[in-house]
Structure 1
Amino acid sequence: HEGFDNSHRIGVMEGGAKWEKTTLSPADAQFLEVYKMTRAEIAGIYGVPPHMIGDVERSTSWGSGIEQQSLGYVIYSLMPWLTRMER
């Protein structure tokens, strides 16, 4: 059941083969989307760039991408805390 000529034809499962679902249900897909948004929102609360929690879906590694995000994290999130602790 492979190849262009056999596409859209009925597949026959022989020899005790069993069907396994390979897609997500709509409810599971929605759960994953909510979970992904929750991770990004929590990172935003603490000022952590998305790439540092493994959310690289909307990040770029070209030019001023991840390097600038990391630099911004140090300057705008860590430096105020480090300055307070130093004083």
Structure 2
Amino acid sequence: MRMILAVIVVLVVGVNPHWQKYKAEKIAAYQAQHGGDVCEVNNVLIGVECRPFTRAERETKEQAEALQRWNDRVADAEARKRVAQQMEDLLHYGQ
């Protein structure tokens, strides 16, 4: 019986969007007051624990951001190339 109750509580708390919003608000409030990079809610009431990024986490985050910037540049270049080709097609079609 306890196992069924525990499963129900985990499902309700873990999946509920209101719970996710509550956790995000608690973490944001704690970070604003105390700082910290990685935060987790320890319990339902108020327990938030924050710590700085480890070296590996910081490097992973920086690599992901660099990759995102690169992908954005490639997408922008492809979009500019597509627009230039469309303009060229329009100019040749109009002649």
Is the helix fraction higher in 1 or 2?
2
* TM-score, with length taken from structure 1: 0.36
* TM-score, with length taken from structure 2: 0.34
Is the strand fraction higher in 1 or 2?
2
